Amino acid sequence: IPNIWIAASDNNLDAVKHHIENGATPNDKDPNGYTPMHAAASYGHLDLLKYLVSKGGDINVADTDGDRPLHTIEEASTAKFIVEELGADYRLKNADGQTALEKIEEEEEFPEVAAYLRTISGVPAVIESSNSGNSAANLPDVRYSYENVENSQDMDEEQRKRIETIMQSENPEEGMAEMIRESL
C-alpha cells in the first residue's frame, strides 16, 4: 500500500481509507508539510477531497511554505469546487505573502485558475503589453465627458472634488474604477 500522500495524489481512495482507518489524518504532513489535502486538491480529486474533509481535513491547511491546497490547484473547476463547496479561503497568504491568485499568476502556468480567482477576488484582469508597441489597439475606446454638476443633490463637495482630481490625473480610468469599487 502506498503512503497516504501518494495514495491521495493517485486518487487511490481505498489506500487513503486504509491509512485513515489506521490512525492517519487528512492533515498529516510529510517532511515538506505536504498533506493529503494538498495532494488531492492539486490533482483535482474532488470525491477524495470530500472524503478527506468528512474525516476532518482542513481545506485551508498550510504546508511548510504556507501554501494552502488552493495554492496548488491546476484546474479552474477544482478551484471553484474547493472555494464554493468546501469553503476554502482565497484570501489566505503563504509565507511569501502571496494569495493563491498571486502565486498562480506569478507562475504563469494555470491562466484559467487565475481568471477564476480574479473573478471571485474582484481583481481586474492584467493587461499585458506586447513588444510591438501596439497593445493599445486591443484596448476598448473610452471617452469622458466632464460636465458641471453643481446642482446635483446626490453628490457632496468632497465627492465632486475627488472626481475632478481623478479626471485630471494621468490615469482617470483606474481612478474612476477604484472610486466605483469603493462605493459598492
- 99-153 pLDDT, tens digit per residue, is 999 999 999 889 999 999 999 887 776 555 444 444 444 555 555 555 555 555 5
Compute the Cα dihedral for 56, 17, 67, 124 and give only its sign. Answer: negative
Please report, as a single letter, which amino acid is at residue 126. Answer: V
pTM over 0.95: no
Q: Which fold, 4-121? A: 1.25.40
Calpha distance 56→75 (Å, rounded):
24
Angle at 89 between CA 84 and CA 90, to 5 degrees: 90
Question: Residue 51: how many CB atoms within 10 A of its CB?
Answer: 19
Write down the domain spans for the chain. Answer: 4-121, 142-183
